Amino acid sequence: MNRHQRRRRAVMDKHNRFVRDYVHHLPEAGPDVLGKPGLSHMVCYHDEWCQTYDGKGCNGEPVIRFFAEPKRA
């Protein structure tokens, strides 16, 4: 595996780790949470061949999901 492939894999692993370890456990919400106060996360799922992992623009059809932080006391 060359340097370019290692960097690409590291970016993909970092994104997947964030989603798997943190965001996935939050309640999923609709796009209406974007205009409301509070913290929300927008997660874009890209295919492995997408150029976004190369530092370029997205050339695919990403799946976008929204997650909202639960209200805390």
33-72: pLDDT as tens digits:
777 777 788 888 888 788 877 778 888 888 888 888 877 6
Report the predicted TM-score, pTM, of the whole model to 2 decimal places: 0.60
Question: How, if at all, do strands 28-29 and 40-45 pair?
Answer: unpaired
Rg (CA), the chain: 15
The average pLDDT across 12-38 equals: 80
pLDDT surpasses 80 at 5: yes
Do 42 and 34 meet the contact criterion of CB atoms below 8 Å apart? yes
Rounded Cα distance, 27 and 67, in Å: 6
pLDDT surpasses 70 at 73: no
Domain boundaries, the chain: 3-68
Rounded Cα distance, 8 and 67, in Å: 25
The average pLDDT across 9-27 equals: 82
Give 65's strand partners: 43
